[in-house]
Structure formats: structure tokens, C-alpha cells
């Protein structure tokens, strides 16, 4: 027999490797063989290297900069200072948050590690020698590292460039170091509800400053071709199209003459959303020298000077009835933004989506106010693997629930259960103004409780407390509970924009004559596996095997305009655009199939990888045949070719959620811990690739573990960064990393074309409170209410010590 | 993170290395595994115009387990220490300690000579060498001399070694049978928050000999002679251990850093010493 037996329907589905399939990541072939192509792999003829002279001081006036000796060093081509950039008006640049930031120090420095001068040289070595030879005369000024002290009447003025008393980008500034006050909810009714409640819990919850610390640091290569007038810019950009627009607006170069390329990116986690002085300086240096200029920062520069995350002091009050029904929530945040407000949030949301802080609970009234404050620390405030300030919000509410449980003398799992938004309440209007699209929290919670054997764990915990009290053991058990609700997929153009660009996203598909395809998106993978998963969405939508679909992102000359990848927006927004573009392809394919089968358009229907005549499944045209026909037949009333593009403006955010439980043993004497179990149930709606989801959850949980248990950006009182290397900035190795158990429920998003919600950030959002709550829970029986992260050894030891457990 | 320019020398015997050292004086420094020196050069905290690589000098490498004494060449890597069966049989504490240094990548390069010559109070081998009562062999322009590990360390990065001397070997007698190196650190690849090296000799229920030294609790390794003395003659019961910890506390002088404040470090010093004594006693 020559012909193979026709494939049955299941085989055809599995050949597609479409949605739901644990398809292996196509990117990994090159990544695991060292064949990735990162910014630092870009090597151009005649390329120069730029590197920064950075401030050793956190606050100082610059009296003079002498670059003569540096320029005399062999191989040094130029040294740029603010004075050189000023005529181009590039010594300052706008930030994404409506503030402005020095590109090179203009008269003073405001944080340690700030860019002071840019040395351009023939190679990195000469640049490094040049840096040593630049002589900067500083006059030290008083340093403020504490945002509360920054707001004292007599605090030194940090931002002398801002006019006293003038409004900022987000309204009135009430103090010279104040940036904005942003509010949501109803303050009066909230105060009334809390003040008249049976039970009130009040606590200061601090989410410390940390850093996304992607494996690959930030960098760029700028190449200005003076003959064509075209600027090509390779860089570690999470939003290449926005970078092109900003570069055009800043430089005056027309946008069609700028090509921005994000090549492979070795992790971003929010760190690569903003615009850094290095990008601007490499562009200017290329224009000045006429040669390509590369800038790539080292690890210490990345940790000390590029965007940090968190640093939120959250003072909360939560109230409830005696039975534990929550009646109100109030939060006032003092947000330390560092020297410049360089947060990466949608423009109208200076505190991001922090007002998702009512979490998974049905809270009738709530209020939040966020004060942004300047200090002498590095700028940033980016969404480190989260949607804008959602990690802070989740940590806040999950701590407040625990504290309320203590106040009520109630089990914290039960307290959550009786306050969850019920399934029949969705779509749910939160007191702070969000419409939660869907959820089924009770089902997820019950599944999680059963999976970990919650009741037995509580018994074991109680026995360990007794053994400790009897002096037989020095170990405690903590059960860290979390039920988080995220808000991702920014977002609807009507209220979400970045520098005026609406936060839609896009996909363009071309089907080739032989039935394979290329899809280009406005997003950019930094390791998430877009080339794998977006091909799967398309495979299911258009019936072409995922293995026959190339997914390309990151080159603004070829990809359609999009707002990039962060805030778990790629699947909710670009993934939706992909499905919608696929549906346009399918609609045209239907017409072609009907023509080929000589029936009316309505008489064919899509079936996995083909259109079949309704009621006559033996009469069909495969997508391969249809693609060929699109290019080789004159079909009346149908244009040749098979292409589609979709720009998707999401009607709402998506609201992934999850139930995480961490079981942790703590050694009271050493402050060390052992994570016995970390159970993570995620509901991200429709699951495109379960293996990729698992990978995302494992990675995010590991970051969450790091943040909760040791990772921080810390400063001493004169503003020296104490954690500028990986010796002190905690990145867990395989040895420290806990084992994880993943699980899921599926509650599809009702408004998303394929029901998907995004998952990449959930484990960071939910993981941090789970680990932190485990530490707190271990000490609950001994009177602990609140302690500050990170829970490294000495802080856990100190907690035990203060509770008198070493006596 | 780019060092200043330097000349690279790679002599093949000690005499040649010494002559380069003598020629360039302060401007020259030997490099062994480079895993302490190169980071310092990259941070430009050490500027070394002439770097003398010792790795081609074969006589500096090797482990010799003799009948009375054990001799280890300075250029022997930590990885080699871990994988040497005869050494592990004779002095298992070397392996236990070396395994707690950094990670495999560092241990493939880092040498015992570099670790003890470096003078960083965070290094683990110096305290162990004091615990073992090791002797260091130094060769300089005036020939060879020896110095006791217990007398070698003056302050952070200040040792008895002259700038023009090369450490060629360390040597120690077969150690007491009970041993333990107990180290608390934040993660793999971290230096000690506190660590204790303990050796114990046991006769029935009585301790007949003990040696104790502590890591990263002062600006030098701390040989806690009094602490060891309190154990001798006892049954190493909880009272004896408490007395040893008390004596050790008199000898250390920790300072605050990212690993924690002084009271925490003192507490951890006590915990690691207690655990080390208990483990060493159980093995004696
Ligand atoms: C990430 C990391 C983690 C680490 N963690 C630990 C740890 O937990 N515990 C620990 O003990 N160490 C640790 N180290 C240090 C490591 O063990 C080093 O290898 C060791 O301290 C120095 O040995 P080296 O052979 O690399 O010496 P080098 O770096 O080459 O030299 C160190 C110093 O000793 C001098 N020197 C070297 N050999 C000689 C010689 N024969 N004669 C005279 N002078 C000499 C050099 O001139 C230099 O001043 C760590 C290192 C790294 C990079």
C-alpha cells in the first residue's frame, strides 16, 4: 500500500501541537547550545565601547569634571559630560512616570552609582582606564535614605531642578521631596466602617527594596549611518517599539529612520522596561563619532544603578465583625522612588495597580493613598515580574489577613474562606474600582487545603510548639497561606497608556504558499517562550502545525507596533491579537475552501486542520491546500495571498489567581529554614502549554523565595549600596531552591478570545506572601504579629531573640 | 570590573619565580588559583603590574601522606584535596572543610596555598590549619623558613609572609581522630557567618585532647586555646561545652556586616562550636 492510512481526528489534533500541548520550547535548542544572540553578541566593524564614570556619593554637588587626562589615554576617543549633552538638550530625559532624569550628572549627583561621564574608547579596557583618569571634584551634601525623613520640614532639597510649590505630573506636591499623592476608594466611608467595627487590626507592612537582577544586564549598541541617515539600535528592551518612538521624539530623527532591535534577551522582569542613560549615551556617541557604539553594564552597575523594585511602606487597617466578616480596608503607602520618579507604570497610574489590594476578598469599602517620595537612592520602582505594584498589593492584603486572624484568634485559612468573593459574584466590582472578570476561589482553596493535608499540618505544628515549650526541640513549623488575585494584561486603551501610546498589542500573520507561516508580534520574549506558545495558539486557530509556524518579535522594521512584554500582558493582549488575526485568516480560508469545494461559504466548517463540507466529512480541503490555492488560483471576489493583521485593544484586564501554601521548618537558634513543601495552585484560565506554565511557575517561585528569604537592595545611612554584588544580593542556587508542587484549576477569562489570563508573574506575586507568611506563622504561637522581609538568618534569629526564645 | 593593565609571567621553577619577585618588588605578586586575587584586581582594589603565575611549577603541587606527617604542596587545589583518598583517610577534616568552601567551580581553581596565604578572615582553611597546628613553608631570597599557622596571621591581609616569599607547602602531624568543621553561611558560595574547626581525642568517656579554631569572627582566624583546654579532662557534657563556648566568646571579636549584627554572630559562633564539638566527640 502506498498511501498511509488517513489520520484520525485525534492524531490530527496532536500533530498540530496546538493549545494544551506540552510542546518543547523551540528556543531552547539555541539557548542550551550557547547559540543565543544577545546584545553583547552584536559585533560591528569599527565598533567603539562606552562606559560610565559613576558617582561614589549618594548626594554631592559637582564642582568640576576634568576629562583631559582621560582623553590622553591611548584608545580613548571621547569623554561626554552633561555639558556636551546640554546643547542637544539630552543631558536630561523624560521618565515613563512623567518626571525627568539626568542622563549625565548636571551640577549634582543624587544617588551612588549615578552616571557622571561617558568614556568612549576603542575597547572596553581603554574605556575602563579612561574612567579611572576622569577627575571629578565633589562636595558632599546631606544624604536622605529614609522616605519618612525625606518629608521632614527641614529635610535637604533633593531635586533642585523642580520648581518649589509647582505641581508634578500627578498633581500637587506638598513638600520639596514629595512626588505625588495618588488615591483610590472612598476615604470617609472607609474610616467610618473601620472606626465602628467590632475588630480592627492595624499594621505597618514593609515590602523592602529589591531588584529584578536579570542574568543578562542592560546594554545597547547604537549605529548611526550618516549616509543613509538611519539609526539602528540594538538593546535590551522589553518594549522596542516604544523605545523607537521615544528615541525619535528625543533626538528629532524621524521615526522611519530609526530601527530598534531587541535580540535575544536574557531575562527582563521589569528591569528592561525603562530608558537608561546608557542607551541615550550610546546613541549620542555614535552620532558624534560616526561609529557604532556599544554599552553593556556589569553586574554591580546593574544592581546599583538600574531600576529597583518595591520599597513600599504600607500602613494598613482592616476591620471585621466578631465572626470575621471583613468590613473595611485602608492603606496608606509611603513609596520610596529614589532620586527620580522612573517607575514604569501606565501613565495615569503612578502607583500602578496597587488598588488591587482588596485581593481575593469581598470587602465592601476601601481606601488607598500612596505618597511618592524622593530619596538619595537609585531610581526605578519597576514591576519585578509582576503587573504594576501588584506584588506589593498582594503582600499587603495577605499580611493584613494574617494579622486580622491573630486579632480575631481565628484560623487564617477559615478567615480567607469566609471572605472570598463567591463564584456567583463575578463579574465583581471591587471597592477600589476594578471589575474582576472571573474566578472560583473556593474551589481552588479547598483543593489546595486537601492537597497539603492542612488539618494534619496544624496538628503537627501544635505538637512542635509543645515540644519546643518543653525544651525538647528547637524547631518550629510555619504554614504560609496565600490566596492571591492578580490583575494583568494592561490594558484597555481608554485608560492605559505609556507616554500616550495606548496599551494595545498586535500580531501579523503571513501564510506561505506551501502552508507554513510566519507570525510577528509587538511583544518581545525575554525567556517566556513566545516562539513556542504563540505558535500553539495559531496552530489551534488556523490548523497549521505549530512546528510550521515561525514566531518573530523585536525588530521594529518588521514587527507590527506593540507595547512590549511586561505586566503579564503578552498572552492577554498579544495572545488575543494572535487569535484574532488567526480568525481573520480562517475567515478568508473558509471562502477559498468553499470556492474549491464548489459550495456556499456557509456550507463548510472548520475542523482541526481543514474545512469540511457540512454533513460530508469526506469532502474537505486542508489548510495546506487552501494556502496553495490562495497564491495560485484566481478566485472571484477574493484577493490573492493569505495574510492578516490584528491590533487588539483588550476590553478589560484579566484576573489570574492562585492558592499557594508553604510549609517551612525554622531553626530558632541559627535563623535557618527548610522549605518542606511549596504547593502552588494557579488558575490562569485556558492553559496554552502546561510545561511552559510549570517552568514559569518554578522560575517565579524561585524569585519569590529569594525576595522573601534574603534578597534586598540595602543602603547604609550615607547612601552606600551594601548589596552591589551577587555575594550579598541573594540569588538562590540549585542547592537553596526549594522543590515545588504545581497544581491548577481552569476558570477561563470570559472576555479573552481564547480564555487565557497570563501566568508568568503569578508565582512571584503569590510566592512572596506564602514564604513570608510561613515565617510569621511559625512564630504566631509565641506572639509575633509582624516582622520585615527579607527573612534572612539574622532577621529570623532577631525575631526569635526579641520573643525571648534564646533565654 | 576590568583590571588595570599588567604583565603576565609564568616561571617554571621557584628560583625563577623568586627572581621576578625580587626584581619587581612591590609591583609583583604571585597568583595561584586567582579566585581571591582576580576579583580584587577587577574591582581595582589590588593593582598588580606584574603577575607571576605559579601553575607551571610542578614541585608546588601534590599531597604526601607520610608515616608521621602530612605534607600538601601550596598549589594543590581544593578539588584535589577533596578527591585524595589517602588524605581523607588520614585527615578527614580537610575534606569536610574543603567541601564547604564556595562551589565546585571555585574549588577546581582555588588552592590551599592561596587560601591560607591570602589573609582574608573569611577563608576557611586558616582556622583549620591553626586547629591542626600546621606549619607553613616559606621560600624567599634568603632560603627557606617555617612558621606556625598559629603565629602566621596578624590582621586582615597582613601575615608573617614577606612580600618576596612564596608559600611552598603546609605540613601537619596526623590529627586527633574526632573532627568537625561546622560552618553557617547564607548560601552556597558564601563565606562563613561563623565556623568552628574542632579536633578531639577521646579515651572512653574522657576527653584527653582538643583543639579549636574559629573562622570569620575576628580580623584573623581565632585559635581558641582556652576553649579547647576547658574540654580536656571532661566527659564533654553540656557543662563542659558551655564552658568551652564561654571561653571562645572571650577570644572572638566579630564585626557587623550583611550577614548580621554582632550579637547574632556571637550567638551563631556558640551554636556552630557546640555542634562541632558534639559531632567531633561522637566521631572520636
Ligand atoms: C564566589 C567565591 C566564593 C568563595 N567562597 C569561599 C569560602 O567559602 N571559603 C574560602 O575559604 N574561600 C572562598 N573563596 C576563595 C577561594 O577559596 C580562593 O580560591 C582562595 O581564597 C584563594 O586561593 P587561590 O588559589 O585562588 O589564590 P589567589 O587568588 O591566586 O591568591 C590569593 C592571595 O594569596 C597569594 N598567594 C597565592 N598563592 C601563594 C603562594 N603560594 N605563596 C604566596 N602567596 C600566595 C596571592 O598573591 C594573593 O594575594 C571564594 C571565592 C569565590 C570567587
pLDDT in tens, A410-436: 999 999 999 999 999 999 999 999 999
A727, A730, A731, best to mutate for ligand 1 pocket (most atoms within 8 Å of CB): A727
* Grid cell at residue A352: 500602578
pLDDT tens sequence across B99-152: 999 999 999 999 999 999 999 999 999 999 999 999 999 999 999 999 999 999
Q: What is the pLDDT of residue B78?
A: 98
Q: How many residues does chain B have?
A: 284
Indicate the helix (H) or strand (E) that contains A245.
helix A240-251
**Best residue of A300, A727, A801 to probe chain B, by most B CBs closer than 10 Å:** A727
CB contacts of B186 in chain A (<8 Å) are: 710, 730, 792-793
Residues 6+ away with beta carbon under 8 Å from B142: none
Joined grid coordinates for residue A695: 517552568
Nearest-neighbour CA in chain A from B168: distance (Å): 30
Nearest CA in chain B to A129: B4
Calculate how close chain B gets to A722, using CA atoms only, in Å: 8
Low-confidence ranges of chain A (pLDDT < 50): 1
**Residue whose CA is at the smallest distance from ligand 1 atom 39:** B114
Question: Nearest chain A Cα to B187, which residue?
Answer: A736
Residue B238: inside a domain: yes
**Please, is A125 exposed, middle or buried when counting C-beta atoms within 10 Å of its C-beta (0-12, 13-18, 19+)?**
middle
Please tell me whether residues B251 and B265 are part of one structural domain: yes
* Same domain as B249, residue B147: no
Q: What is the pLDDT of residues B252-283, one digit of tens each?
A: 999 999 999 999 999 999 999 999 999 999 99
All cell numbers assigned to B269: 559562633
d(CA A756, CA A568): 11
3-state secondary structure (DSSP) of residue A747: coil
- Alpha-carbon gap, residue A196 to A179, rounded angstroms: 33
B136 is a domain residue: yes
Are B63 and B144 part of one and the same domain? yes
**A304 SS3 class:** helix
CATH number assigned to the domain comprising residue B72: 3.30.465.10
The two beta strands, A48-54 and A100-102, are unpaired
- A39-141+217-265+272-305: CATH number: 3.90.1170.50
Looking at the fold, whether B198 and B112 belong to one and the same domain comes out as no
* DSSP H/E element including A230: strand A230-235
A345-383 pLDDT, tens digit per residue, is 898 899 999 999 999 999 999 999 999 999 999 999 999
Q: Which residues of B touch A801 (CB under 8 A)?
A: 263-264, 267
**Per the domain annotation, does B247 fall within a domain?**
yes
Place of cell 497608556: A497
Distance of residue A50 Cα from the nearest chain B Cα, in angstroms: 13
Query: B103, B118, B139, B192: which to mutate for ligand 1, most atoms within 8 A of CB?
Result: B118
Please report the residues numbered 198 through 237 in chain B whose beta carbons come closer than 8 angstroms to any beta carbon of chain A.
Answer: none
Q: Are the folds of A9-36+505-648 and A308-427+437-489+653-802 the same?
A: yes
CATH number of the domain within which B235 lies: 3.30.390.50
Residue B69 domain-assigned? yes
- B160 and B223 within one domain: no
**A735–B184 C-beta distance less than 8 A:** no
Q: What is the distance of C-alpha A470 from the center of its chain? A: 46
Residue B88: exposure state from Cβ atoms within 10 A (0-12, 13-18, ≥19): middle
C-beta separation of A171 from A101 below 8 A: no
Asked, for residue B167, whether it belongs to a domain, the answer is yes
* Residues 483-522 (A) with a CB less than 8 A from some CB of B: none
Atom of ligand 1 nearest to the CA of B189: 3
User: Which chain B residue shows the shortest CA-CA distance from A799?
Assistant: B264
The interface residues of chain A toward chain B in range 722-781, judged by CB-CB distance below 8 A, are 722-723, 727-728, 730, 732-733, 735-736
B68's torsion region: left (phi>0), alpha (psi -120 to 50) or beta?
alpha
Comparing CA positions, the residue from A147, A696, A708 lying closest to residue A399 is: A708
Listed residues B151, B173, B195: the one ending a domain: B173
By annotation, the residues of A acting in catalysis are 238, 385-386, 761
Q: Residue B195 forms beta bridges with which residues?
A: B183, B215
Residue tagged 616561571 (cell numbers) = B11
CATH number, domain with residue B33: 3.30.43.10
E runs forming strands in A237-307: 258-261, 293-296
A183 touches chain B (CB under 8 A): no
Class level of CATH domain A9-36+505-648: alpha beta
CA atoms within 13 A on the CB side of A438: 17
Dig out the grid coordinates for A180 from the structure.
Answer: 505625588
Say yes or no: B123 and B22 in one domain: no
Q: CA torsion sign, B40 to B42 to B47 to B53?
A: positive
Helix pair angle (A390-408, A762-778), 10° resolution: 30
Question: Could you tell me the sign of the dihedral formed by the alpha carbons of A796, A800, A803, A804, in that order?
Answer: negative
Torsional sign, CA A114, A117, A121, A125: negative
Q: Are residues B20 and B95 in the same domain?
A: no
Interchain pair B187, A732: CB under 8 A: yes
What value does the CA radius of gyration of chain A take, rounded to a whole number of Å? 28
Tell me: the pLDDT tens digits for A285-339?
A: 999 999 999 999 999 999 999 999 999 999 999 999 999 999 999 999 999 999 9
Report yes or no: A674 at the B interface, CB cutoff 8 Å. no
Q: State pLDDT tens for residues B4-38.
A: 999 999 999 999 999 999 999 999 999 999 999 99
Q: Which of A654, A202, A657 minimizes the C-alpha distance to A421? A: A657
Q: Do A125 and B260 touch (CB under 8 A)?
A: no
Sign of the four-CA dihedral B5, B8, B14, B19: negative
Question: Do strands A517-521 and A92-94 pair parallel, antiparallel, or not at all (unpaired)?
Answer: unpaired
Residues B74 and B165 in one domain: yes
pLDDT of A1 reads 44
DSSP string computed for A132-153: HH-EEEEEE------HHHHTST
Q: Which of residues 169-198 of B touch A (CB under 8 A)?
A: 184, 186-191, 193
- Rounded to an integer, what distance in angstroms lies between the CA atom of residue A93 and that of residue A249? 11
Please compute the mean of the pLDDT values over residues B152-169 and round it to a whole number: 97
Q: For residues A646 and A520, is the Cβ–Cβ distance under 8 A?
A: no
B167 and B189 in a single domain? The answer is no
CB contact under 8 A, A129 and B264: no
CA–CA distance, A561 with A576 (Å, rounded to integer): 15
- Any residues with Cβ below 6 Å from ligand 1, and which? B 29-37, 39, 54, 74, 101-102, 106, 109-111, 113-115, 117-118, 123-125, 166-167, 189, 191
Q: Which three cell numbers stand for residue B161?
A: 609572609
In the reported structure, the alpha carbon of residue A296 is separated from the centroid of ligand 1 by a whole-number distance in angstroms of 28
Q: What percent of chain B has pLDDT over 90?
A: 100
pTM: 0.97
Residue pair B187/A732 in contact by the 8 Å Cβ criterion = yes
B259/chain A closest Cα distance in angstroms = 7
Same domain, B169 and B62: yes
Strand partners, A293: A48, A222
Task: Judge: A672–B193 Cβ closer than 8 Å, yes or no.
Answer: no
For residue range B53-108, list pLDDT tens digits in order: 999 999 999 999 999 999 999 999 999 999 999 999 999 999 999 999 999 999 99
- Greatest extent of chain A over all pairs of C-alpha atoms, in Å: 92
Q: Are strands A501-502 and A435-436 parallel, antiparallel or unpaired?
A: unpaired
Residue whose C-alpha cell is 511549596: A678
Task: Give the ligand 1 atom nearest the CA of B77.
Answer: 25
Exposed (0-12), middle (13-18) or buried (19+): which is B230, by Cβ within 10 Å?
A: buried
For the CA of B124, the nearest atom of ligand 1: 11
Sign of CA dihedral A622, A627, A628, A630: positive
Closest CB to B258: pick one of A128, A300, A723: A723
Domain boundaries, given as residue ranges, for chain A: 9-36+505-648, 39-141+217-265+272-305, 308-427+437-489+653-802
Q: Does B49 touch chain A (CB under 8 A)?
A: no
Among candidates B252, B116, B120, B91, which has minimal Cα distance to B191?
Answer: B120
A132: chain B residues, CB-CB within 8 Å: 4, 44
Coil, helix or strand at residue B270: helix
**Ramachandran assignment for A577, one of left (phi > 0), alpha (psi -120 to 50 degrees), beta (any other):** alpha
Cis status, amide bond into A427, omega within 30 of 0: yes
- If you take atom 27 of ligand 1, which residue's CA is the nearest one? B114
The verdict on whether omega for the bond into residue A790 sits within 30 degrees of 0, i.e. cis, is: yes
Question: Does a structural domain hold residue B1?
Answer: no
Where is A709: in which H helix or E strand?
Answer: helix A690-709
| DSSP E strand stretches across A540-589 | 549-553
The answer for residues whose C-beta is within 8 angstroms of residue A604's C-beta and 6 or more apart is A590, A593, A594, A597, A611, A612, A613, A614
Closest by Cα among A342, A311, A295, A343 to A54: A295
What residues of chain B lie within 8 A of the CB of A732, using their CB?
A: 187
A373 contacts A178 by C-beta, under 8 angstroms: yes
Please state, in angstroms and rounded to a whole number, the distance separating the CA atoms of residues A737 and A709: 11
CA distances in angstroms from A417 to A391, A420, A424, A442, listed in the order given: 21, 5, 15, 7
Which residues of B fall within a CB distance of 8 Å from A125? 2, 5
Distance CA A216, CA A620 (A): 49
Residue of chain B nearest A301, judged by CA positions:
B1
B263/A801 Cβ within 8 A: yes
On chain B, the residues whose CB falls within 8 A of the CB of A797 are 260, 264, 267-268
Total tally of structural domains belonging to chain B:
3
Using CA atoms, how far residue A64 sits from A52, A88, A135, A339, in Å, is 16, 21, 8, 21
How many other C-beta atoms are found inside a 10 Å radius of the C-beta of residue A229?
10
Instruction: Examine the domain organization and report whether B87 and B136 are in the same domain.
Output: yes
How much distance in Å is there from the Cα of B35 to the middle of ligand 1?
5
Distance CA A655, CA A762 (A): 10
> Is the CB of B140 inside 8 Å of chain A's CB atoms?
no
Provide the residue range defining the domain that includes B41: 7-53
Q: Based on the domain organization, do B169 and B258 belong to the same domain? A: no
In a domain, B2, yes or no: no
CA distance A224 to B99: 52
Closest by CA to A641, choosing from A651, A654, A632, is: A632
Write out the CATH class of domain A308-427+437-489+653-802. alpha beta
d(Cα A243, Cα A223) in Å, to the nearest integer?
Answer: 15
Using the mean position of ligand 1's atoms as its centre, give its distance from the Cα of residue B117 in Å. Answer: 8
Give backbone dihedrals phi and psi of A662, rounded to 5 degrees, phi first: -115, 130
- The interface predicted TM-score (ipTM) is 0.96
Q: How far apart are CA B197 and CA B185, in angstroms?
A: 15
Last residue of a domain, one of B141, B173, B205: B173
Amino acid at each position: 500500500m502506498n498511501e498511509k492510512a488517513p489520520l484520525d481526528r485525534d492524531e490530527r489534533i496532536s500533530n498540530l501541537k496546538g493549545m494544551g500541548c506540552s510542546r518543547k520550547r523551540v528556543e531552547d535548542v539555541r539557548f542550551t547550545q550557547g547559540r543565543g544572540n544577545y546584545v553583547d553578541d552584536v559585533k560591528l566593524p569599527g565598533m567603539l565601547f562606552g562606559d560610565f564614570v559613576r558617582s561614589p556619593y549618594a548626594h554631592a554637588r559637582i564642582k568640576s569634571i576634568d576629562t583631559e587626562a582621560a582623553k590622553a589615554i591611548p584608545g580613548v576617543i571621547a569623554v561626554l559630560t552633561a555639558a556636551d549633552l546640554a546643547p542637544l538638550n539630552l543631558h536630561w530625559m523624560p521618565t515613563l512616570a512623567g518626571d525627568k532624569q539626568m542622563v549625565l550628572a548636571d551640577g549634582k549627583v543624587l544617588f551612588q552609582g549615578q552616571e557622571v561621564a561617558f568614556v568612549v574608547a576603542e575597547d572596553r579596557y581603554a574605556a575602563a582606564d579612561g574612567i579611572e583618569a576622569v577627575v571629578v571634584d565633589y562636595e558632599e551634601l546631606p544624604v536622605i535614605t529614609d522616605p519618612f525623613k525625606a518629608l521632614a520640614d527641614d529635610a535637604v532639597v533633593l531635586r533642585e531642578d523642580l520648581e518649589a510649590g509647582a505641581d508634578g505630573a500627578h498633581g500637587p506636591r506638598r513638600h520639596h521631596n514629595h512626588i505625588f499623592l495618588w488615591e483610590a476608594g472612598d476615604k470617609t466611608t472607609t474610616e467610618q466602617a473601620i472606626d465602628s467595627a467590632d475588630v480592627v487590626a492595624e499594621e505597618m507592612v514593609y515590602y523592602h527594596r529589591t531588584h529584578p537582577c536579570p542574568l543578562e544586564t542592560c546594554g545597547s549598541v547604537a549605529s548611526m549611518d550618516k549616509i543613509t541617515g538611519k539609526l539602528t539600535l540594538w538593546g535590551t528592551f522589553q518594549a522596542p517599539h516604544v523605545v523607537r518612538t521615544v528615541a525619535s521624539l528625543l533626538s528629532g530623527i524621524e521615526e522611519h529612520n530609526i530601527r530598534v532591535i531587541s535580540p535575544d534577551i536574557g531575562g527582563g522582569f521589569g528591569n528592561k522596561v525603562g530608558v537608561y542613560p546608557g542607551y541615550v549615551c550610546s546613541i549620542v556617541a555614535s552620532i558624534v563619532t560616526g561609529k557604532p557604539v556599544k554599552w553593556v553594564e556589569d553586574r554591580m552597575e546593574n544592581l546599583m544603578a538600574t531600576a529597583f523594585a518595591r520599597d513600599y511602606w504600607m500602613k494598613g487597617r482592616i476591620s471585621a465583625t466578631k465572626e470575621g466578616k471583613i468590613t473595611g480596608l485602608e492603606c496608606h503607602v509611603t513609596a520610596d522612588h529614589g532620586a527620580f520618579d522612573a517607575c514604569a507604570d501606565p501613565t495615569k497610574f503612578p502607583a500602578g495597580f496597587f488598588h488591587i489590594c482588596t485581593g481575593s476578598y469581598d470587602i465592601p469599602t476601601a481606601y488607598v493613598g500612596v505618597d511618592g517620595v524622593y530619596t538619595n537612592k537609585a531610581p526605578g520602582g519597576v514591576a519585578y515580574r509582576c503587573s504594576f505594584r501588584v506584588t506589593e498589593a498582594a503582600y499587603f492584603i495577605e499580611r493584613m489577613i494574617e494579622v486580622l486572624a491573630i486579632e480575631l484568634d481565628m484560623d487564617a485559612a477559615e478567615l480567607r474562606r469566609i471572605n472570598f468573593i463567591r463564584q456567583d459574584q463575578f463579574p465583581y466590582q471591587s471597592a477600589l474600582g476594578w471589575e474582576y472578570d472571573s474566578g472560583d476561589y473556593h474551589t481552588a482553596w479547598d483543593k489546595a487545603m486537601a492537597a497539603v493535608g492542612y488539618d494534619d499540618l496544624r496538628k503537627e505544628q501544635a505538637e512542635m510548639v509543645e515540644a519546643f515549650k518543653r525544651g525538647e526541640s528547637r524547631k518550629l513549623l510555619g504554614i504560609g497561606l496565600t490566596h492571591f488575585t492578580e490583575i494583568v494584561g494592561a490594558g484597555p486603551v481608554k485608560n492605559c497608556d505609556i507616554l500616550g501610546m495606548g496599551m494595545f498589542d498586535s500580531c501579523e500573520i503571513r501564510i506561505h504558499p506551501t502552508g507554513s507561516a510566519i507570525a510577528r508580534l509587538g511583544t518581545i520574549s525575554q525567556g517566556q517562550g513566545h516562539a513556542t506558545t504563540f505558535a500553539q495558539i495559531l496552530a489551534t486557530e488556523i490548523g497549521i502545525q505549530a512546528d510550521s509556524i515561525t514566531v518573530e518579535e523585536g525588530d521594529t522594521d518588521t514587527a507590527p507596533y506593540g507595547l512590549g512584554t511586561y505586566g503579564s500582558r503578552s498572552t492577554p493582549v498579544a495572545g488575543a491579537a494572535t487569535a484574532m488575526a488567526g480568525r481573520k485568516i480562517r475567515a478568508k480560508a473558509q471562502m477559498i475552501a468553499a470556492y474549491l469545494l464548489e459550495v456556499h461559504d456557509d456550507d463548510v466548517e472548520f475542523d482541526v486542520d481543514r474545512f469540511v463540507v457540512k454533513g460530508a466529512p469526506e469532502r474537505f480541503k486542508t489548510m495546506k491546500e487552501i494556502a496553495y490555492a490562495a497564491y495560485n488560483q484566481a478566485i472571484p471576489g477574493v484577493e490573492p495571498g493569505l495574510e492578516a493583521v490584528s491590533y487588539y485593544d483588550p476590553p478589560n484586564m484579566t484576573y489570574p489567581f492562585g492558592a499557594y501554601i508553604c510549609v517551612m521548618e525554622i531553626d530558632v537558634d541559627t535563623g535557618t529554614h527548610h522549605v518542606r513543601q511549596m504547593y502552588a495552585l494557579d488558575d490562569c484560565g485556558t492553559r496554552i502549554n502546561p510545561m511552559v506554565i510549570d517552568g514559569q511557575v518554578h522560575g517565579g517561585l524561585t524569585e519569590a523565595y529569594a525576595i522573601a528569604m534574603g534578597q534586598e537592595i540595602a543602603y547604609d545611612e550615607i547612601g552606600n549600596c551594601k548589596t552591589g554584588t551577587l555575594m550579598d544580593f541573594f540569588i538562590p542556587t540549585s542547592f537553596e531552591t526549594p522543590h515545588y508542587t504545581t497544581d491548577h484549576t481552569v476558570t477561563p477569562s470570559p472576555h479573552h478570545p481564547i480564555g487565557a489570563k497570563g501566568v508568568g508573574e503569578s508565582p512571584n506575586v503569590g510566592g512572596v506572601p506564602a514564604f513570608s507568611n510561613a515565617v510569621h506563622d511559625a512564630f504566631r504561637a509565641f506572639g509575633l504579629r509582624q516582622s520585615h522581609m527579607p527573612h534572612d538568618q539574622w532577621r529570623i534569629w532577631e525575631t526569635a531573640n526579641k520573643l525571648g526564645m534564646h533565654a | 570590573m576590568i583590571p588595570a593593565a599588567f604583565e603576565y609571567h609564568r616561571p617554571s621553577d621557584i628560583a625563577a619565580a623568586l627572581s621576578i619577585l625580587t626584581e619587581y618588588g612591590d609591583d609583583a605578586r604571585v597568583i595561584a588559583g586567582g579566585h581571591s586575587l582576580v576579583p580584587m584586581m577587577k574591582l581595582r582594589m589590588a593593582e598588580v603590574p606584574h603577575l607571576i603565575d605559579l601553575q607551571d611549577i610542578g614541585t608546588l603541587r601534590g599531597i604526601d601522606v607520610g608515616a608521621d606527617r602530612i605534607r600538601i604542596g601550596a598549589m594543590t587545589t581544593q578539588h584535589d584535596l577533596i578527591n585524595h583518598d589517602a588524605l581523607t583517610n588520614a585527615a578527614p577534616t580537610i575534606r569536610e572543610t574543603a567541601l564547604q568552601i564556595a562551589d565546585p567551580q571555585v574549588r577546581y581553581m582555588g588552592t590551599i596555598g592561596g587560601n591560607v596565604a591570602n589573609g582574608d578572615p573569611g577563608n576557611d582553611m586558616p582556622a583549620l590549619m591553626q586547629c591542626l597546628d600546621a606549619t607553613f613553608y616559606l621560600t624567599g631570597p634568603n632560603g627557606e623558613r617555617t612558621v606556625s599557622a598559629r603565629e602566621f596571621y596578624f590582621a586582615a591581609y597582613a601575615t608573617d609572609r614577606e612580600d618576596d616569599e612564596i608559600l611552598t607547602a603546609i605540613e601537619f602531624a596526623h590529627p586527633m581522630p574526632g573532627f568537625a568543621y561546622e560552618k553557617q553561611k547564607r548560601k552556597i558560595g558564601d563565606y562563613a557567618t561563623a565556623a568552628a574547626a574542632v579536633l578531639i581525642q577521646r579515651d572512653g568517656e574522657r576527653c584527653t585532647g582538643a583543639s579549636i579554631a574559629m573562622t570569620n569572627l575576628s580580623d584573623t582566624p581565632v585559635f581558641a586555646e582556652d576553649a579547647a583546654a576547658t574540654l580536656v579532662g571532661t566527659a564533654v557534657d553540656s557543662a563542659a561545652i558551655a564552658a568551652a563556648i564561654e571561653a571562645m566568646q572571650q577570644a572572638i571579636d566579630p564585626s557587623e556586616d550583611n550577614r548580621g549584627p554582632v550579637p547574632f554572630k556571637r550567638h551563631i559562633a556558640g551554636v556552630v562550636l557546640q555542634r562541632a564539638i558534639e559531632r567531633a566527640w561522637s566521631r572520636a
